[in-house]
Structure 1
Amino acid sequence: TRELAVRQLKKQFLEALQANNAEQVLQILHTGKLDINVVLEVDDPGMILASYKQGYWLPGYKLEKSWAMGIHVCVMYNALETALVLLQEGASINGTPNGKTPLHVACEVSNSDFVSLLLSHKAKVNSLSLSGHTPLHHCTRRESVDCAKQLILKGADVNMPSHSNEEETALHTVARFAIPELVALYLARGACVDALNSLQETPLMTAAFWAFDTREQVYREDHHLVCRLLLDHGADPNLQEEDHKTALHKAAWNCDHVLMQMLLEAGANTRAMDINGCAPIQYLLKVTDVRPAAIPELCYQLLLNHNAPRVYPPQFHKVLQSCHNLPRAVEIMVNSYERLKPTNKWRASIPDECYKRHKVFYDSLFAVCSNTPRSLLHLSRCAIRASLAELCYRGVAQLPLPSSMKKYILLEPKGILY
């Protein structure tokens, strides 16, 4: 009977907290039958209150309940007046019944009023959740900017890595979620622009990787803006993570010409090799036919105009295997060589249906890539490009030539080979 009465009292207490009924909460506490820090079971389908240690096995089904103290419930239901009453009555402010302190929860829901209240009552600004994250790591939305500002003013460490497998700083986190306002705030408050996580990735690499939404097949402009901010603050585009990939490798994997141009203009090295000896152009070749939202020919043109290594001529059939549906990309690649000699693998790499659809182009390809030399105009183009090397993209712009000739030198496709 006593257990039933306590259970009923807990239910009344929880309902009063959720309804922001401070008067009833006080009445229940003053009966002396319920501890102010009692742990309650709360509906939490969004897992706002829960934090779990990495490496622990979790059931496959979605967890719908969490444990919480009264102050956590107040934060979750925006019961500010009731929270103030609990704090005045001596409620614990740094408790973690299900892995998060109330301050973590307030940042999770982007409630700056609660962040202010909790900080004014000495909440630990750099406390770690069970998963090893600080409150600053939970500021992951535009609405969280005020929360983050308050945390930093109270001493939050913008360079503190999470105590988790990733070891991400707050800058890594907002680069992944693409919150330009928070990126700018952290950089202004001393965040290390080239901080490394456990995989040796910088925030720039993180933003570059997540700039493409594989599910929706769209490029995220906010991630591009984050990359722009990081580069403007001195991020090094040529740092390599544990597999030796650079940010340019990741942008090439996404077939993201906007980001690739940004990185190349910042000095990204097109000849950097990953642990398997692959340059960004090899990454581009691997994904050309699975990026329907991309404009691959621009990506190839950018890389080759910045002195990217070309495909070994006897292996050129692999270009046709990846790009046979994109004659403009093939044209750009072919025109980067003085001459190419076809092998019996070339024609086999182009499906008959595709060959018929682009017959004019492919007929010109096989005609040009015969044993006869290319035109003098093309050979002159190749000589200029070889002379300029990595300065080709910028150098051509300064040559006293008509704009049409500059485009020709920079491999602007025509739709047919001469």
Structure 2
Amino acid sequence: MSKETFAFTSSTLRSLRLQREWLEWEERRRAASRQSASRRYQPVARSLLSLPKPTKRPQYCRDPAVHNALYTGDLARIRSIFKDEATANLTVETLSEELVWSPEQGLWVLTPQKKHTSPLRITAARGYQDCVKHLLLQGAEVDAVVGGKAALHDSCANHRAECSRLLLSYSANPNILSEEGLAPLHLCTTQETLPCAHLLLEYGALVNQNTRDRRVSPLHVAAKHGLDDHVQLYLCYGAKIDHRNREGETALNTACASADRPEEAGRYYRVVKRLLESGADVWVAGRKNHTPLHNACSNCHFRIVELLLQQGAEVNVSNCAGYTPVDCALQAVEDYLDGEPERVIALLLNHGAAPINPKMLKFCALSPLTMEIILNSFDRILSCDYWFGSVSPEVWQEHQLFYDSAIGLVNQPRPLQHLARCAVRKQLGKRCHHGIAQLQLPSSLQDYLYLPFEGYLK
């Protein structure tokens, strides 16, 4: 057993308290002696008891039995162990094996890592409300940051609303920062944490408080995780919708960039819609000069792309690498083959996207529908060399009709009907998406102008 590990019996605790009191008295006596020596000709006017108390050294507990009582919420044992302020503020030390890179061995190795926490953090994170209350009544410091976080950080991150309410009622600071510079509101990252976010704001949490390093606001966090209810709550409390983080991104940039999972598309669409309805700027460019439209196109998110274009997003703006939104969409085609990337490309072209560089066709070689849309936007096919080698034999065999038709039209004149379509679309430009419907043409010709999918080129 370590010399800093206690056997938690009544006699041991009584001995510990007596020893601590004697050490504090001895340190005060020595401090008084030093002060007397430095002021030899001045009488000591103050009592030794009035001298400042020395800083308390943290006391560590590594006893597995105590750990087990805390992690299981055993209230009876916790009451028998934690009977005063000293024990309530112990630092609980655990040891776990973690993978750490070893430069000497050139590989990842399991290395023992010490982690520190507190009884209050452990019980608050697990929702043991009665245990939390007992520790607070015994003098546990409600805002103590042990192991990088305070108890309120843990209760909010683990959506323990009742424990959060209890801590706040005992004057926990709703804006306390962890060692990483995060406030409790920044840790409300799931739908289940909404009640905790409500509580924090009711008790005075700053809705526009930024993280220390990246200057991320709670609104950014909610947008990143697709939390529409959190976004609405923060906006009601006055969240700044135009606030930029250290990389220059607004919450709208963040939401569009984070919508990278098709199964979560609906959540992020609602967040983007709410931000736009609240006045978010679709033109703001963040990291690498990516606009929200660049980010949405990189995720091939059709509904968000459509929403941004309806709000006036610029379809031909370039990022720092010279890529337009349609270029970003093309580079993401292979990652979202099941997400109908052809619809995103068609939407961008119908909103006036500039002619696509033939060199970009290699990115959509595995999506015949996307390839068809793009090739039909040209008035002629000059070469297939840019994308021919990128098509796998399996895909070529499955869509042989389309690929054979594309190869057969290289350097061949397109039909007059197709040339007329190109001329009309060029004339309409950015108005294609709604201008075609206003033309006095049969519905079949209107459909033809929208570049429908036919499975082959002619």
Q: Could you say which TM-score interval applies, normalised by the shorter chain? A: 0.7 to 0.9
Classify 1:135/1:353 alpha carbon distance in 2 versus 1 (closer, same or farther; 3 Å). Answer: closer
Q: Distance in 1 between matches of 2:381 and 2:5?
A: 87
Q: Distance in 2 between matches of 1:364 and 1:73?
A: 66
1:316-338 C-alpha deviation (Å, 9 max, x unpaired):
2541x333333322221122233
Which AA in structure 2 matches 1:327?
Answer: P
Give the equivalent residue in structure 1 for 2:46.
none
Q: Distance in 2 between matches of 1:353 and 1:2?
A: 65
Q: Distance in 2 between matches of 1:250 and 1:186?
A: 23
Give the equivalent residue in structure 2 for 1:258.
303
Aligned residues: 396
Which AA in structure 2 matches 1:328?
Answer: L
| Residue 330 (1) aligns with residue 371 (2) | yes
What's the secondary structure of 2:339's corresponding residue? Answer: coil
> Matched residues, percent identical?
30
- Asked if structure 2 preserves the Cα contact closer than 8 Å seen for 1:167 and 1:197, the reply is yes
Asked which structure has the greater RCO (Cα within 8 Å, sep 6+), the reply is: 1
1:30-60 C-alpha deviation (Å, 9 max, x unpaired):
5x694331212258999xxxxxxxxxxxx97
What's the secondary structure of 2:289's corresponding residue? Answer: coil
Q: Distance in 2 between matches of 1:171 and 1:305?
A: 33
Classify 1:204/1:61 alpha carbon distance in 2 versus 1 (closer, same or farther; 3 Å). Answer: farther
- Asked if structure 2 preserves the Cα contact closer than 8 Å seen for 1:175 and 1:206, the reply is yes
Q: Distance in 2 between matches of 1:311 and 1:256?
A: 19
Classify 1:389/1:292 alpha carbon distance in 2 versus 1 (closer, same or farther; 3 Å). Answer: closer
Give the equivalent residue in structure 2 for 1:54.
none
Alignment of 1:2-401 (within 5 A): 3=3, 6-8=6-8, 11=63, 14-18=67-71, 20=73, 22=75, 24-30=77-83, 34-42=86-94, 66-164=115-213, 166-213=214-261, 220-312=265-357, 316=358, 318-319=360-361, 321-342=362-383, 357-372=398-413, 374-401=414-441
Q: Cα distance, 1:150 vs. partner?
A: 0.9
Give the equivalent residue in structure 1 for 2:451.
411
What's the secondary structure of 2:6's corresponding residue? Answer: helix
Q: Distance in 1 between matches of 2:338 and 2:291?
A: 23
- Asked if structure 2 preserves the Cα contact closer than 8 Å seen for 1:361 and 1:417, the reply is yes
Which AA in structure 2 matches 1:387?
Answer: Q
Which AA in structure 2 matches 1:142?
Answer: Q
CA RMSD of aligned residues (A): 3.1
What's the secondary structure of 1:272's corresponding residue? Answer: coil
Report the more deviating stretch, 124-133 or 340-349.
340-349
- Asked if structure 2 preserves the Cα contact closer than 8 Å seen for 1:169 and 1:197, the reply is yes
- Asked if structure 2 preserves the Cα contact closer than 8 Å seen for 1:251 and 1:259, the reply is yes
1:101-157 C-alpha deviation (Å, 9 max, x unpaired):
111111011011111111111111111001110000111111111110011111211
- Asked if structure 2 preserves the Cα contact closer than 8 Å seen for 1:218 and 1:293, the reply is no
Which AA in structure 2 matches 1:384?
Answer: V
1:340-397 C-alpha deviation (Å, 9 max, x unpaired):
434766766666775565443344435555353x444333323332232212212223
Q: Distance in 2 between matches of 1:28 and 1:334?
A: 76
Which AA in structure 2 matches 1:39?
Answer: T
Classify 1:357/1:4 alpha carbon distance in 2 versus 1 (closer, same or farther; 3 Å). Answer: closer
Q: Distance in 2 between matches of 1:60 and 1:133?
A: 30
Which AA in structure 1 matches 2:401?
Answer: V
User: So what's the TM-score if we normalise by structure 1?
Assistant: 0.83
- Asked if structure 1 preserves the Cα contact closer than 8 Å seen for 2:95 and 2:112, the reply is no
Name stretches of at least 5 consecutive residues in structure 2 with no aligned partner: 10-60, 99-107
- Asked if structure 2 preserves the Cα contact closer than 8 Å seen for 1:107 and 1:135, the reply is yes
Report the more deviating stretch, 176-185 or 268-277.
176-185
Q: Distance in 2 between matches of 1:45 and 1:139?
A: 28
Classify 1:39/1:325 alpha carbon distance in 2 versus 1 (closer, same or farther; 3 Å). Answer: closer
Classify 1:104/1:2 alpha carbon distance in 2 versus 1 (closer, same or farther; 3 Å). Answer: closer
What's the secondary structure of 2:210's corresponding residue? Answer: coil
Q: Distance in 1 between matches of 2:4 and 2:397?
A: 80
Q: Distance in 2 between matches of 1:179 and 1:22?
A: 35
Greater radius of gyration (CA): 2
- Asked if structure 2 preserves the Cα contact closer than 8 Å seen for 1:17 and 1:79, the reply is no
Classify 1:362/1:143 alpha carbon distance in 2 versus 1 (closer, same or farther; 3 Å). Answer: closer
Name stretches of at least 5 consecutive residues in structure 1 with no aligned partner: 47-58
Classify 1:38/1:318 alpha carbon distance in 2 versus 1 (closer, same or farther; 3 Å). Answer: closer
What's the secondary structure of 1:411's corresponding residue? Answer: coil
Classify 1:231/1:17 alpha carbon distance in 2 versus 1 (closer, same or farther; 3 Å). Answer: same
Q: Cα distance, 1:207 vs. partner?
A: 2.1
What's the secondary structure of 2:332's corresponding residue? Answer: helix
Q: Distance in 2 between matches of 1:126 and 1:401?
A: 63
User: So what's the TM-score if we normalise by structure 2?
Assistant: 0.77
What's the secondary structure of 1:35's corresponding residue? Answer: helix
Q: Cα distance, 1:417 vs. partner?
A: 2.6
Q: Cα distance, 1:96 vs. partner?
A: 0.8
